[in-house]
Amino acid sequence: MMVLLRHLLGDVLRRLRQRQGRTLREVSADARVSLGYLSEVERGQKEASSELLSSICGALGVPLSQVLREVSDQLALAELQEAALLGDTVTSDPVAAQDLGIEPVPDRVPHVADMVGV
């Protein structure tokens, strides 16, 4: 089962919008994006361009980096779950991963804030 980035991105955008108690109509108007297109992005049916993402994030008052961080965290979790379901010990075993020339999956995926001490 492959997780599609556009599905994760849509989920994160929808969650942010709903947390703010805003409607698709409100955000689409503020982002200057059609209501139908924003709906398709949120449902993971359309790939959003960087310009469109920037506009949506601006309308939500959220930095693009925050959205991408949340998407990245969700993707990392999905990859770990998929590896666990497949019994993939290579991704969690540093020695086996090194033998194959790949990076092992860390026990904890760090946030940028962790790395810069914020």
Q: Which CATH number fits domain 5-62: 2.40.30.10, 3.40.50.10790, 3.40.30.10, 1.10.260.40?
A: 1.10.260.40
pLDDT(7) > 60 = yes
Whether the per-residue pLDDT at 94 is higher than 60: the answer is no
Q: What span, in angstroms and rounded, lies between the C-alpha atoms of 77 and 8? A: 11
pTM of the entire structure? 0.71
Q: Read off the pLDDT of each residue in 80-105 and give the average, rounded to a whole number.
A: 61
- Residue 48 dihedral angles phi and psi, to the nearest 5°: -90, 135
Give pLDDT tens digits for 15-35. 999 999 999 999 999 999 999
